[in-house]
């Protein structure tokens, strides 16, 4: 059996980008959650995926919504990443987002944002894997991405 701490540390050796996934619940205000599980899946059709822990406080929204957006954060957006990684504080602040072309909330000044409709959901151990078909892409900024490596924020050198 693999020790969970050893496994987690080993996974941390893979540098990942940081994103904020957002949704507009049927009831209530838009929410956002910091993730680093974002990945491309397919060009035709255009598909991306991310995953959410089954015990996440945002699971009820993201496990049932039919649409979501993913905003790829820039190096300058570390504070936003920390804000939406905080437990029990996922309501998007008005100054942090703007509506996208499909009406989904997009993080302002993100490097790129993807507006998606849910293509499929798959159980994945203690996570739910959510595959989205990209309906629109907005590349708003250029510059270095916000990265995470070995348990902390990192930069390209």
What pLDDT, on a 0 to 100 scale, did the predictor assign at position 82?
96
Question: In total, how many domains does the chain have?
Answer: 1
Q: Structure pTM?
A: 0.94
Owning domain of residue 62: 4-154
What pLDDT, on a 0 to 100 scale, did the predictor assign at position 157?
73
Distance of CA 70 to the CA centre of its chain: 5
What pLDDT, on a 0 to 100 scale, did the predictor assign at position 140?
72
What pLDDT, on a 0 to 100 scale, did the predictor assign at position 33?
97
Through-space distance between the first and last CA atoms of the chain, rounded to whole angstroms: 36
What CATH number is attached to the domain comprising 67?
A: 2.30.110.10
Q: What are 68's two structure tokens? A: 């979501």
pLDDT along the chain (157 residues), means of 10: 91 93 91 96 98 95 96 96 92 96 96 98 97 94 91 86
- Number of neighbouring beta carbons within 10 Å of residue 96: 20
117 touches 110 (CB < 8 A): no
* Cα 13 to Cα 10, 73, 142, 155, distances in angstroms: 6, 20, 26, 14
């Amino acid at each position: 059996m693999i020790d969970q701490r050893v496994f987690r540390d080993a996974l941390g050796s893979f540098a990942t980008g940081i994103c904020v996934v957002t949704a507009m619940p049927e009831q209530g205000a838009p929410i956002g959650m910091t993730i680093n599980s974002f990945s491309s899946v397919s060009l035709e059709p255009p598909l991306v995926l991310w995953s959410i822990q089954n015990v996440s406080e945002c699971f009820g929204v993201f496990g049932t919504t039919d649409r979501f957006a993913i905003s790829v954060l820039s190096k300058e957006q570390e504070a936003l990443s920390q804000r939406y990684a905080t437990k029990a504080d996922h309501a998007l602040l008005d100054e942090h987002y703007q509506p996208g072309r499909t009406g989904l909330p997009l993080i302002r000044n993100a490097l790129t944002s993807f507006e998606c409709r849910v293509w499929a959901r798959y159980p994945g151990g203690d996570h739910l894997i959510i595959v989205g078909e990209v309906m629109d892409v907005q590349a708003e900024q250029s510059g270095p991405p916000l990265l995470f490596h070995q348990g902390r924020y990192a930069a390209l050198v």
